[in-house]
Amino acid sequence: MKYLIDTHTHTIASGHAYNTIDEMTRKAAELGLANIGITEHAPKMWGSCGVLYFSNLKVVPREKYGVRRYMGCEANIMDFTGKLDLPDKILSQMDIVIASFHTPCIKAGSVEENTAALIEVIKNPLVHIVGHPDDSRYPIDMEAVVKAAKEYHKLLELNNTSLRPIGPRLNARDNDIQLLEMCKQYGVCISLGSDAHIEEDICNFALAEELLKEVDFPESLIANMDMELMNSYLLANK
């Protein structure tokens, strides 16, 4: 396995994903994946688990079947000040925090408003990764977001699920090309996330890889290929 971690996966706790933590870990071991990020949707997503679920993640052993588990969340951005739907105290206990726009949780604003929200999220020391900033339903000033990620040492996600033709996100391919070109230009690292909702999709980066090839994206800017680099982001607030 060329990649050392998949930073974005979901289990049955998210309400619309289909495997357990144990099944996801076993599958990662089978694939020869050394690390997995398990990032359930935070409470404001319909049908996902509640605050207590996240506050009790301390009971989950971080190592099983030879796989290191990064237990975290995909928090929902709730407004244009970058407010998230979990208390800071709980976010600070997470191994990995992704923050994303999701339609059940926030109605898109103007480019200025959406961009301001992402920049506030990037400034939040408890957030590690901006999830799928590639959705024209939430248009943003990509350059401003990439520059903020550089300044605050945050990862921007290249989300494989966004690139599926039947995927929910709008115009993701073009937006991701723009994202990658700007990350190249400013030397900003990305994080590859499968956004798996089923074990078969763990580390499925097939569509993302096509795009990386197309824009000749340097491997040195893919944090999933170097855990020291990845941990410089994930452990920055620890």
By beta-carbon proximity to Zn ion, the closer residue of 12 and 29 is 12
**Residue labelled with tokens 């998949």:** 6
Within a 13 Å sphere around the CA of 55, how many CA atoms are in the beta-carbon half? 8
Q: At how many degrees (to 10) do helices 172-186 and 142-152 cross?
A: 40
By beta-carbon proximity to Zn ion, the closer residue of 41 and 69 is 41
**Closest approach of Zn ion to the CB of residue 144, in Å:** 21
Residue 161 interacts with Zn ion (CB under 5 A): yes or no: no
* Residue type at 45 in one-letter notation: M
**Closest approach of Zn ion to the CB of residue 32, in Å:** 25
Residue 100 interacts with Zn ion (CB under 5 A): yes or no: yes
By beta-carbon proximity to Zn ion, the closer residue of 100 and 224 is 100
> CA-CA distance, 82 to 37, in Å (whole number)?
23
**Residue labelled with tokens 């569509």:** 207
**Closest approach of Zn ion to the CB of residue 132, in Å:** 6
Candidates 79-87, 112-120, 129-137, 147-155: pick the segment binding Zn ion (CB under 5 A): 129-137
Residue 224 interacts with Zn ion (CB under 5 A): yes or no: no
Please say whether the beta carbons of 126 and 160 come within 8 A: no
**Closest approach of Zn ion to the CB of residue 17, in Å:** 6
> CA-CA distance, 24 to 214, in Å (whole number)?
30
- Residues in the site for Zn ion, rule: CB under 5 A? 100, 131
